[in-house]
Chain A
Amino acid sequence: MGILVIDDEAPIRKLLEITLQSNGYTVGLAATAKEGLAMTVNDSPDLIILDLGLPDENGQSILKKMRAWYDRPVIILSVQNRETDIITALDNGANDYLVKPFRTGELLARIRSALRSATGEDNEPVLRLNDLEIDLSARIVKKDNVPLRLTATQYSLLALFGKNAGKVLTHQYLLREIWGESYTDQLQYLRVFIAQLRKKIEKDINYPKHIITESGVGYRFVAGEP
């Protein structure tokens, strides 16, 4: 698996090179947007780690450009932790967003998860996520092999999560997909249904392991490590 790192800070490039290589990935390094875009075209990496604060071009606009022809996962790595920046990056097509400083374990987990969904493992008609089994064609959800009784909305929400396992889904995206365009500012609906869904699928509702809150941004459905 080839990963391209686009970051203008040499220490971060070095850290990522060592971390990723020792975990069995081949690594390409770029220090500028120009270099990064050229390497994306030439090497067609399996995943890109992109810093938003590059010297020659704004990261958000590079992301938009890339997305015109590059459809594999892009993970943003940035010192900006403002919620609006994160939401913009996700809207511009980023798969995930990590704020510097980050824990390497966390980064590796996000990479694995992004690669898994990109290679189509999660696009089967039946999604198996640890103790959960979502049969998208039969619309049946099982937890520890016991069928769950879900309402239509609860099922749509869970299916949407399952199809995007590992990816951060913004509040607006979820509201638009499930309730429609005019509901994108009705966050209270989402909160209520997330709470209901958690009650049914989580072992301990206070320690959710499936539906993780991304503070101020949205939710992430965690498939668990295989």
Chain B
Amino acid sequence: MLDVRILFPFTANNKISRPYQYLISIVLVCLVSAVCFLFAAYIGAQVVAFILLLTLSLIAMSFDILPVLLTALLSALIWDFFFLGPRYNFRVGNTEDKILLSMYFVIALVNAVLTFKIRQIEKIARLKEEKAQTLRLYNTLLNSLSHEFRTPLATIIGATDNLLEEPSRLSPTDSRRLLSEISVASLRLNRQVENLLNMSRLESGFIQPKKDWHDMKELTYSIVHQLEEQLIRHRIEVDIREDIPLVRLDYGLIEQVLYHLVYNAALYTPESALIRISARCPDRALEIIVEDDGPGFPEAEVGRVFDKFYRFTYSQRNSRTGGSGLGLSIVKGFVEAHNGTVELMNRLSGGARFVINLPVENFSTSIGS
């Protein structure tokens, strides 16, 4: 499959339109013939035939069958008229030349048809490859989802079985522990459902940010509140100037973006790591930074984190963290819905830093009281 693609580099994309194909074919054949004509005194008619066949082969590599057939016919006629003796008419003198001319025509046709057929095969191969790609992506999604749903479900089913069937054998502490496992597992399930809904919103292409005036301080602290439980063992630092202007954005979408970033930071950094959220408003823009002083991302993975289903290899060894690999692609999708950008870099001093840049209108809060 791959070889075919290398042989016909022009076929996949950048296709030239039909009228241009005719034009280029005719011009090329005429040009090559003219050059040959200038040197007709030094080269024989047979050599010219090979040169024209070569030209035809080149055209056949990238053009459709009809222009190629036209080229075959045209070049045969030109060869007959200008080069094959007697020259300057379409009559063919001896039997040898008659055989040559018919063979020229047959070779030209075979050439055209063969390359056309190869290209068709290549096209089918490409479609198959695309299908396989989609299927692989689909399988990754299903695997990831069934894992993400089954793990908490297994916890819930197992814990409730214990609580229902053996209540007398469980100490009050154990019962409480089972119950809190159930609670954690259900919250995890709920988050996955939320992610799936967001992902399907993104995939459907129907995300229209509903922008209105919002206070970044309020948004940031609301995230810190929502994640209070997850952040209990981390140090949180919020750095937003008191007089930061109001900004026009979709609160729900940007809330999700920050939620994922802060949640990830809490998940993938060790206890007592510092998570810092900062925001500032340079001219007509909003810059939000979420960074931590944890282990950061391996350099080789930095470019891949926003891919769908990406999961930090480290996280696969850590069964408590989980994640469907949808979080960061949702972040990217929601930021891009605002025509913004999100970047990940490792800090020089260690840890990950996500930088979000959004073009926004802003509104100074220092209006009269």
Contacts and interface: CB of A to CB of B under 8 A. Distances in A.
Interface of A: 83, 101, 151, 153-154, 187-189, 191-196, 205-208, 213, 215-216
B68 to A, nearest CB: 57
A192 B222 contact: no
A213 B214 CA distance: 11
23 contacts: A101-B186, A187-B213, A188-B246, A191-B214, A191-B218, A191-B246, A191-B365, A192-B246, A192-B367, A193-B369, A194-B215, A195-B217, A195-B365, A196-B369, A206-B217, A206-B221, A206-B238, A207-B221, A207-B225, A208-B221, A213-B218, A215-B255, A216-B252
Nearest to A193: B369
B190 interface: yes
Interface of B: 186, 190, 210, 212-215, 217-218, 221-222, 225, 238, 246, 251-252, 255, 363, 365, 367, 369
A interface majority secondary structure? helix
B369 A187 contact: no
Contacts of B213: 187-188, 191
Given A188-B213, A191-B214, A215 B251 contact: yes
Contacts, number: 45
Contacts of A215: 222, 251-252, 255
Given A192-B365, A216-B252, A187 B222 contact: no
A172 B62 CA distance: 62
Nearest to B250: A216
A180 to B, nearest CB: 17
A192 B365 CA distance: 6
Given A83-B252, A213-B218, 18 more contacts: A101-B186, A151-B369, A153-B369, A188-B213, A188-B246, A191-B215, A191-B365, A192-B246, A193-B369, A194-B215, A195-B215, A195-B217, A195-B218, A205-B217, A207-B221, A207-B225, A208-B221, A215-B251
Given A191-B213, A191-B246, A206-B217, A213 B222 contact: yes
A113 B222 CA distance: 22
